[in-house]
Amino acid sequence: MTHGNRVRVVAAGDHFILPSLIRQALDHELTCDVRELRLGWPLEPFGPVAEVTEASDAEDELIDALTGARVLVTQMGPVTERVLDACPELRLVVVCRGGPVNVNLDAAKRHDVRVCYAPGRNAAATAEFTVGLMLAALRRIPQAHELLARQGSWEGATYYTYEHSGLELEDLPVGLVGYGAVGSRVARVLCAFGARVMVFDPYVHGEIHGLRVASLDELLRKSRVISLHARLTTETRGLIGARELALLPEGAVVVNVARGPLLDEDALCDALESGRLSAAALDTYETEPVPPGSRLFGFGDRVVLTPHLGGASRAVAEKAAAIAAAEVGRWARGEPLAHCLT
C-alpha cells in the first residue's frame, strides 16, 4: 500500500544499524513513508528462527510492522515463510549484511519478493580488527593491560623476558585462508608490516598481495600464524580440525574473525592443551554467546576472546544503510538492482 506514489518502507533496524540511519539514508534516495522498528541485536543475541539462521526472534513484531508495506530494509529481521505468507504486499527485502542468511530465499522467490544484500559493508572494519586481534595475541597486549590497569600489578613485565616475549609481524610467516574482501585487505596491511604473507584460496585468481600456495596443507606447514577468512559453507564447515592443526609448526597461533564453525573448537583446545599452539585469538565461535562452561575459558593468557566485534564500527552501520537505501532507490525507479539474489 502506498500514499499516492510514495512507497511504504519498514526500516527494521537494531542497536547497531539504527532505524534512524536507514531512514536518513532513504531520504537521500527517494520520497517514501518509513515505519521504524528496532530489534534487539546485539543486546539480544541472534540465532536460528524457524527455517532461517542468524536472525532476531521477532517474527510477530515484523509481521505487525509490515502491514501494507512493499519494502523491508533490515539486518536481523527474520524473513521466514511465515512472515512472507503474512505480508502479501511485500515486494523487496534489502538485508544490510554481506549475505541474507536471515531470509528464506526459496520462499521469497515463491512469493515474488526480490532479495538484496550489502556486500563489502564491513570489510575494512573486519580487516582492521583482525590485525588488531593478531597483534593483541602475539604481543600479549590485553593480558598486560589486565594485570596493570585492573589489578595494579607490574607483573606484566614478565612479557619482556625472552621466554615470555611475543612475536613481531616483520618477517613472520602468516597464512591467510581465504582472499575475499576481508582477506585481501588483511594481506595488504600485513605486507606493510613486513610479514611474509601466504594465501590459500582456490577460488581467487590473478595478482595477490603475498605468495599464493597450492594447497591448504602447504599453507599450514609453512605458517607461524594462520588467519581464517573463508565464507562458511557446507564445504568449509570444520575446515580447520585436528588433522589441520597438527600440520602447523609447534608454537603457532590461530586467529579467527570470520565464522566460528570454520574451526573445530575442541580440536583447537586440544592443540592449546598439548602445547602445539602457543595462542589463539577468536572473535567468532561455534556457539554464540559462548556457553559458560566452554573449554576456551581455561587457557588464561594464551587466548584472546572478543564477542563478535569484527564489524563493529560506526562507518559499517552508515555504509550498510547507504548501500541498502541505494538499492531501494533503484527498485523504486525501475532500474536494475546491484546486489540481488532473487
Q: How far apart are CA 280 and CA 226, in angstroms?
A: 10
Which position among 140, 229, 259, 339 bears the catalytic label? Answer: 259
**Structure confidence at residue 258 (pLDDT):** 96
3-state secondary structure 218-250: HHHHHCCEEEECCCCCCCCCCCECHHHHHHCCC
| DSSP H or E segment with residue 183 | helix 181-193
Q: Are residues 23 and 38 in the same domain?
A: yes
Does a structural domain hold residue 2? no
**Per residue in 304-340, pLDDT tens?**
999 999 999 999 999 999 999 999 999 999 999 999 9
Q: Are residues 93 and 164 in the same domain?
A: no
Does a structural domain hold residue 66? yes
Which position among 61, 81, 218, 288 bears the catalytic label? Answer: 288
The closest of 9, 120, 110, 107 to 66, measured between CA atoms, is 9
Q: How far apart are CA 262 and CA 284, in angstroms?
A: 9
**Counting Cβ atoms within 10 Å, is residue 181 exposed (0-12), middle (13-18) or buried (19+)?**
middle
Dig out the grid coordinates for 170 from the structure.
Answer: 616483520
Does a structural domain hold residue 25? yes
Mean pLDDT confidence for 7-26 = 98
**Structure confidence at residue 4 (pLDDT):** 47
Does a structural domain hold residue 290? yes
288 has catalytic annotation: yes
**Structure confidence at residue 111 (pLDDT):** 98
Residue 2: partners with Cβ closer than 8 Å, 6 or more residues away? 8, 33, 70
Mean pLDDT confidence for 22-43 = 97
Contact between 147 and 156 under an 8 Å Cβ cutoff? The reply is yes
Q: Are residues 159 and 282 in the same domain?
A: yes
Instruction: Give the whole-number percent of the chain exceeding pLDDT 90.
Output: 95
Q: How far is CA 230 from the centre of its chain?
A: 11
Whether pTM > 0.85 for this model: the answer is yes
Q: Which amino acid is at 91?
A: R
CATH code of the domain covering residue 41 = 3.40.50.720
**Per residue in 97-106, pLDDT tens?**
989 999 999 9
**Structure confidence at residue 17 (pLDDT):** 98
Contact between 136 and 195 under an 8 Å Cβ cutoff? The reply is no
Which position among 8, 140, 229, 308 bears the catalytic label? Answer: 308
Does a structural domain hold residue 1? no
Does a structural domain hold residue 197? yes
Q: How far apart are CA 23 and CA 1, in angstroms?
A: 18
Q: Are residues 159 and 300 in the same domain?
A: yes
Gyration radius (Cα) of the chain, Å: 22
Q: How far apart are CA 186 and CA 123, in angstroms?
A: 9
* Count of alpha carbons within 13 angstroms of residue 56, beta-carbon side: 21
Dig out the grid coordinates for 61 from the structure.
Answer: 513484531
pLDDT bucket at 3, cuts 50 / 70 / 90? very low
Mean pLDDT confidence for 112-131 = 96
339 has catalytic annotation: no
Q: Are residues 150 and 94 in the same domain?
A: no
**Per residue in 272-312, pLDDT tens?**
999 999 999 999 999 999 999 999 999 999 999 999 999 99
Does a structural domain hold residue 338? no
Q: Are residues 226 and 253 in the same domain?
A: yes
**Structure confidence at residue 342 (pLDDT):** 82
Number of domains into which the chain is organized: 2
Average of per-residue pLDDT values in the chain = 96
15 has catalytic annotation: no
The closest of 203, 202, 169 to 187, measured between CA atoms, is 169
**Per residue in 262-273, pLDDT tens?**
999 999 999 999
**Counting Cβ atoms within 10 Å, is residue 86 exposed (0-12), middle (13-18) or buried (19+)?**
middle
**Structure confidence at residue 6 (pLDDT):** 87
Q: Are residues 87 and 71 in the same domain?
A: yes
Mean pLDDT confidence for 1-11 = 73
Contact between 137 and 279 under an 8 Å Cβ cutoff? The reply is yes
Does a structural domain hold residue 342? no
Q: Are residues 287 and 140 in the same domain?
A: yes
**Structure confidence at residue 2 (pLDDT):** 41
Q: How far apart are CA 196 and CA 147, in angstroms?
A: 32
- Tell me the residue range of the domain where 158 lies: 123-305
Mean pLDDT confidence for 21-47 = 96
Q: Are residues 163 and 263 in the same domain?
A: yes
Q: Are residues 194 and 240 in the same domain?
A: yes
Q: Which amino acid is at 230?
A: A
Q: Are residues 26 and 110 in the same domain?
A: yes
Q: Are residues 97 and 245 in the same domain?
A: no
pLDDT bucket at 5, cuts 50 / 70 / 90? low
